[in-house]
Amino acid sequence: MSNQRIKTPCVGLCSTVYGDLVCRGCKRFHHEVTHWNGYSEDEKQAVWSRLEALLVQVMQAKVEVFDAQRLRIQLEQRQIRFVPQQSPYCWAYQLIARGARVISQLDAYGMALLPEFRDWALPDLRDAIDREFFLLSEAHYERYLAPKFLRDGALQRL
């Protein structure tokens, strides 16, 4: 695995340049993407922590990581980048995101799909996880950070 530390949540699929308030790639808010390099370590950690909490919420509803050490070893052997300090459920997401089309047996990686997802193809599950993660990030933005005029506009539509 690359010894290079992952310095940003960016995954190279930025949609904030097209006007999205939440990036469809990394799930950060537009201002977090544009100001990232100026953030203090505490500010960056706050963003990382929020993203981790939301992703873990999505992942725990779909998979069980029963052997975190095996998962970590598999990620390292396959040179899939992950953040070691994060939850193994974030590692599981990295595995599914990078290997959905080639993985045939998740148990070899120390994880299993929950019963209601066992008949899903991994690429479909990956896409569902990504959509749900995005929707949670978007809801968080709209609930806690959206400018007042956006909230007022949404209320008027109801």
Check whether 154 has a pLDDT greater than 60: no
Instruction: Domain ranges for the chain, please list them.
Output: 16-157
Of 151 and 119, which is predicted with more confidence? 119
Percent of the chain with pLDDT over 70: 88
Segment 41-81, tens digit of pLDDT: 999 999 999 999 999 999 999 999 999 999 999 999 999 99
Instruction: Report the chain's mean pLDDT, rounded to a whole number.
Output: 88
> Cα torsion for 150, 44, 71, 60, to the nearest 10°?
-30
pTM greater than 0.75: yes
Q: Can you give the pLDDT at residue 1?
A: 41
